[in-house]
Amino acid sequence: MQPPTNSPQKIITRTILILSLVSLSNDIASEMLIPVMPMFLKHIGFTVLLIGILEGFAEAIAGLSKSYFGRQSDLMGKRLPFVQLGYALSAISKPLMAVFAYPLWIFLVRTTDRLGKGIRTGARDAMLSDESTPATRGRVFGFHRSMDTFGAVLGPALALAYLYYHPQDYKTLFLVTFIPGLAVIILTRLIREKPKLQDPGNDKETVKHERRNIFAFVGYWKKSPVAYKKLVSGLLLFALFNSADVFLLLKMKETGITDTAVIGLYIFYNLVFAVLAYPIGILADKMGLKRIFLFGLAFYILVYAGFALNSNPIIYLFLFIGYGIYQAATDGVSKAWISNMVDKKDTATAIGTFTGFQSIGMLIASSLCGVLWMVFGSMITFLITAAIALIVLIYLAGIKSSATDIQ
């Protein structure tokens, strides 16, 4: 293990900085669409249930591809080709959403966007892990998430400004996303990759088989560390009920809040997330990744209970502060936590396997949320989610820190 360094210049390397700028630009494009997506989909005839199925299906595709391509990155010992291809697919697919308003076309393009995310995620996170040490991973992942989420502030702000002057002109907004998408493609060409990381223990037949089998990552689960299995099991239970953020936006719309106010609150939430992600990452390195993760999960429970019972626009402001704290304390921290408990040569596979199962869980969660919403209403939907999150918090709190926190 390399000794930790106190120099910010050495902690935030050139590769980490460029990857963070890539995520910033990509999220400007993505987040220009997310707050308007439910309004756009309802505008062209999608029901709440169909929106849930669309988001869940797209995330499931992303999940399977995260797992598969994360494993391929480890087998090849390369990260950069996956990063470049994945970001390029997402950059190209977003503007295509505006070409046709047919459900099948929307499913195809949205799935292509998520496929791009799946191709790049494991390799990108492994590259971030390769550029850090166990003692600095909290802040490295926190810095990346902070930059990524600033894109989620700028994107909706641009969308809000555009829709103010051009109400419901969603199609042009989709076309505009190619501008930051082009910046993403250019920036990925500036990344320089470290030498190959191939494991000499992998025989050619094993490698050939795993490259053909999209479910080969399941084999990693069988041989993964016990601590990894315990942590991921808890996180996956949470994922089975943690539906897409689009349902938070739909809840606010249900209470009569205007499109402008919905987007404004979404921007505010992302600003809280972006500002707090890096300092909370530093805090996680000092206090322990598990402790900070549980702190964030507690905020999630309070927020979802609040969404279940609230209809006051002012209260939503405070709920989104809590939601920003939850995201800042869990998103990057969970990946840093996983990175610290697996072999370096398996980093992309471990993160890809987790995010793969997580995305499949989101397919179930988003579809289930849509059904519960239609049958029982939004209040019961959010209360059930909060209750499951409480069970997960209790389970993770019972896991020994020495086995799961930091090596």
For residues 161, 167, 171, 174, the Cα torsion angle rounded to the nearest 10 degrees is 20
Residues with Cβ within 8 Å of 340's Cβ and at least 6 positions away in sequence, in order, are 134, 137, 289, 405, 406, 407
- What's the CATH class of domain 14-194+205-212+224-404? mainly alpha
Sorted by where each begins, the domain ranges of the chain are 14-194+205-212+224-404
Report whether 126 contacts 351 (CB < 8 A).
Answer: yes
Query: Is 247 exposed, middle or buried (CB count within 10 Å of its CB: 0-12, 13-18, 19+)?
Result: buried
- Among 57, 386, 382, smallest CA distance to 238 is for 386
CA 361 to chain centre: 13
Q: What is the CA radius of gyration of the chain?
A: 20
Q: How far apart are CA 193 and CA 75, in angstroms?
A: 16
Which candidate, 236, 253, 220, places its Cα nearest to that of 334?
Answer: 236
What percent of the chain is helix, strand and coil (3-state, nearest 5)?
80, 0, 20
Six token digits for residue 30: 């993505």
d(CA 39, CA 249): 10
Global confidence as pTM: 0.76
**Residue owning tokens 């249930």:** 49
Classify 154 as helix, strand or coil. Answer: helix
CA torsion sign, 319 to 324 to 325 to 326?
A: positive
Given a contact cutoff of 8 angstroms between Cβ atoms, the answer to whether 98 and 113 are in contact is no
State how far the Cα of 266 lies from the Cα of 245, in Å rounded to an integer.
10
Per-residue pLDDT in tens (0 to 9) along the chain, 407 residues: 344 444 444 788 899 999 999 999 999 988 888 767 777 777 777 777 777 777 767 777 777 788 788 888 888 888 999 999 999 999 988 888 777 777 788 888 888 988 998 899 889 998 998 888 888 888 999 999 899 889 888 988 888 788 888 877 877 888 888 899 999 999 999 998 876 655 545 555 555 555 556 665 667 777 888 888 889 899 989 988 887 787 888 888 887 887 778 878 888 888 999 999 999 999 998 998 999 999 999 999 999 999 999 878 889 899 999 999 999 999 888 888 888 888 887 888 888 788 777 777 777 887 788 888 888 888 999 999 999 999 999 999 988 754 444 44
